[in-house]
Amino acid sequence: MSDEDFLREEIDAVEHQAAKRIDPGTGALTISIAVLALLVSLILPWVGEHTGLAVVLGESELFLPRLFSYLALGVGVLGSGITLAVRRWGLAWVCSLGLFAGSIIGVLSIWTQQTTTSNKTVGPGPGIGLIIAAIAVIVLLVKWVKIAASRPPQL
């Protein structure tokens, strides 16, 4: 193998590795702030007197807020942190899809707290923490979709 062929293979290998990586740029700051907002929302009320942390730990028997809390923490906090650390394009899409599901479930969680008919009295309503968490998940969704979709096409 000539030096020219070896150099071409090495350049192709580097190009192939670079194509798998993302560069979040200034979006990383927005993602970090949204993750911080998700973490702060855990100490605020979500459902009635239950905080977000209580919902995560299962103290609330409501299914949708609990599912939303798992998605928000799993994909929003853990997934975003891992994806920012390793900067892989595939993980950016995984975050985007997980946050899409999380944003729908978050909005449904807020809606079910406002329109509950299972009680004789009016439902507890969504807490400020649930609303902040849903907004943070939607912000994360927008940023990850923008980052994941910014990959240049393969030649």
User: pLDDT per residue over 66-125, tens digit each?
Assistant: 999 999 999 999 999 999 999 988 899 999 999 999 999 999 999 988 876 555 555 667
Assess if residue 81 is contained within a domain.
yes
Domain count, the chain: 1
Supply the range of the domain harboring residue 40.
23-149
Assess if residue 51 is contained within a domain.
yes
Assess if residue 15 is contained within a domain.
no
For residue 8, pLDDT beyond 80 = no
Assess if residue 52 is contained within a domain.
yes
Q: Tell me, what's the pLDDT at 155? A: 44
- 107 against 17, higher pLDDT: 107
Mean predicted lDDT score pLDDT of the chain: 86
Q: Tell me, what's the pLDDT at 24? A: 84
135 residue type, one letter:
I
The pLDDT confidence band at residue 129, using thresholds 50, 70 and 90, is very high
DSSP for the chain, written as a single string: --HHHHHHHHHHHHHHHHHTB---TTHHHHHHHHHHHHHHHTTSEEETTEEHHHHHTT-S--HHHHHHHHHIIIIIIIIHHHHHHH-BHHHHHHHHHHHHHHHHHHHHHHHHHHS--SSSSPP--B-HHHHHHHHHHHHHHHHHHHHHHTPPPP-
Least confident stretch, 2-11, 27-36, 58-67: 2-11
Assess if residue 8 is contained within a domain.
no
Assess if residue 74 is contained within a domain.
yes
Assess if residue 16 is contained within a domain.
no
